[in-house]
Structure 1
Amino acid sequence: MIAGAVPEGEVSDPAGQRQGIQSVEIGTRLLQALASSGRSLLLRDLSRSAGMPAAKARRYLVSLIRMGLVEQDANTGRYDLGGFALELGLASLARLDPVRLAGPVLDDLCERTGETVALAMWGNRGATCVRWLEAGGPVTVTLRTGVVLPLLSSATGQAFAAFFRSPYLRRMLDAEIEAAAAARQATPAALRAALTVQLDEVRRHGIARAAGSVTPGVNGFSAPVFNHAGRMVAALTLLGIIGSFDLDWDSPTARLTKEAAATLSRRLGYGGGEAAEVAASAGHCEAAPGRGDRRA
Structure 2
Amino acid sequence: MMPGRAGIQSVEVGYAVLDALASAPDAMMLRDLAAACAMSAAKAHRYLVSFQRVGLVAQDPATSRYDLGPTARRLGLASLARLDGLAAARAAAARLCEAIGHTTALAVWSERGPLIVHCETPSCQPLTIGLRLGSVMPLSSSATGRCFSAWLPREQIAPLLARELDVRPARHAARLTTESGWAAWAAAVRARGAGAADGDLQRGLASLCHPVFDAAGRLVLGLVTLGPSTAFDGRAGGAIDKAARSAAAALSREFGGTNDGPAPPAARPARRSR
| Offset, 1:214 | 4.5
| Offset, 1:212 | 1.3
Answer yes or no: is 1:108 the counterpart of 2:80.
no
Change (3 A) 1:228 1:96: farther
What is the CA–CA distance in structure 2 between the aligned matches of 1:244 and 1:258, rounded to whole Å? 19
The one-character-per-residue Cα deviations of 1:116-157 (angstroms, maximum 9, x if unpaired) are 000000112110000011112344144200000000000000
Q: Which residue of 2 aligns with 1:97?
A: 84
Q: Tell which structure's C-alpha radius of gyration is larger.
A: 1
The one-character-per-residue Cα deviations of 1:187-245 (angstroms, maximum 9, x if unpaired) are 73576566544322211121111001544311001011101111001100000111111
The one-character-per-residue Cα deviations of 1:78-124 (angstroms, maximum 9, x if unpaired) are xxxxxxxxxxxxxxxxx961321202211110011000000000112
Q: Which residue of 2 aligns with 1:120?
A: 107
What is the CA–CA distance in structure 2 between the aligned matches of 1:190 and 1:201, rounded to whole Å? 13
Paired residues in the alignment total 183
Q: Which residue of 2 aligns with 1:255?
A: 242
Q: CA RMSD in A?
A: 2.8
Identity of aligned residues (%): 32
What is the CA–CA distance in structure 1 between the aligned matches of 2:99 and 2:217, rounded to whole Å? 27
Gaps of 5+ in 2: 1-81, 264-272
Gaps of 5+ in 1: 1-94, 278-291
Q: Runs in 1 of length 4+ with deviation above 4 angstroms?
A: 189-196
| TM-score of the pair, normalised by structure 1 | 0.55
Change (3 A) 1:180 1:263: same
Answer yes or no: is 1:228 the counterpart of 2:229.
no
Matches within 5 A, 1:1-296: 97-142=84-129, 143-165=131-153, 167-181=155-169, 188-189=174-175, 192=178, 195-212=182-199, 214-270=201-257, 272-276=258-262
Q: Which of 1 and 2 has higher RCO (CA within 8 Å, sep 6+)?
A: 1
What is the CA–CA distance in structure 2 between the aligned matches of 1:131 and 1:99, rounded to whole Å? 9
Worse-matched range after superposition: 199-208 or 235-244: 199-208
Which letter does structure 1 place at the counterpart of 2:116? C
